[in-house]
Amino acid sequence: MHSFIIVASDKQTRDNYIQQFCRKYTIDPFDKTIIASEKSLGIDDIRAMQKKLFFKPLKSKQKIVVIENADTATITTQNALLKLLEEPPAHTIMMLTATTDNPFLPTILSRCTIVRLEENENPSQESLEKTKQELQKLLSASTGTKLYAAQNLAANKETTAEQLTYMLHAARLLLLEEINSKGILQYALTYMNLLEQLQKAYTMLTTTNINPRFLLEQTLLKIHTPLRISSQTGEAIPKSFA
């Protein structure tokens, strides 16, 4: 199975690409399955897809399964999806459509070909580094600082979702850097929690009418200071990002 993530802010742009793909590879409409959810993509949607995934194509050499708005999937749902990506049937093409690839786990991204139909989908290197530093400071910030940060992030509703995608991108890089680090201290679980909380916030913000400030306050209050384990005492020691 070949897997793709189709990224574009406009749904019609994504749909047009998939239609052209089907024509190019002569995939009949009978062999095209669309998995869509009115809210965030959930485990039930993955189970529904799984039942159809291993059926052989009816009129084509290959069939295609399209998962719409896959960027709204929770971490739990992405992990369930990952299992399918790791054990794919040979005759199936999977396409995940998304407005941005930032909410996806690194393990999902590594198993998919990313097709960006628009430029400037990702933040610049300069803004990304700045966002990483801000996230690291927030991890060890006081409650008051986190609430103030949430207020600032929610001040402009039109840019809140965009800022969350930047934060997701930065959190994903922090996790990758930690996993690839050759150092003794490991903070992968902390960064995974950070990524999960930001991903939940992005999903809620883009699929519901929740108050952005309330959402961000709850999100930032759930992220925690990274801990390391002392080799001498076995006790957890906070890591400082100051």
* pLDDT tens-digit series, residues 120-173: 556 677 888 888 999 989 988 999 999 999 999 998 777 888 888 889 989 988
With a cut of 70, say whether residue 10 has pLDDT above it: yes
Reported as a single tens digit per residue, the pLDDT across 174-217 is 888 887 776 544 577 788 888 889 988 988 888 788 899 999 99
Contact predicate 101/69, CB 8 Å: no
Architecture, CATH, for domain 2-116: 3-Layer(aba) Sandwich (3.40)
| Selection from 75, 90, 92 nearest residue 199 by Cα | 75
With a cut of 60, say whether residue 226 has pLDDT above it: no
Q: Residue 71 burial by CB count (10 A; 0-12/13-18/19+): exposed, middle or buried?
A: buried
Find all residues with CB under 8 Å of 102, minimum gap 6, and list them: 71, 122, 165, 166, 168, 169, 172, 202
32-37: average pLDDT: 85
Reported as a single tens digit per residue, the pLDDT across 38-78 is 677 788 888 877 777 777 888 898 899 999 989 888 888 88
* Residue 102 DSSP SS3: coil
Which sign, positive or negative, has the C-alpha torsion 93, 94, 99, 100? negative
The domain ranges of the chain are 2-116, 125-238
Reported as a single tens digit per residue, the pLDDT across 80-125 is 888 888 777 778 899 999 988 888 988 899 889 999 887 555 667 7
Q: What is the DSSP string of 195-216?
A: HHHHHHHHHHHHHS---HHHHH
pLDDT of residue 183: 56
| Selection from 50, 36, 173, 181 nearest residue 97 by Cα | 36
Q: Which two tokens stand for residue 138?
A: 């927030």
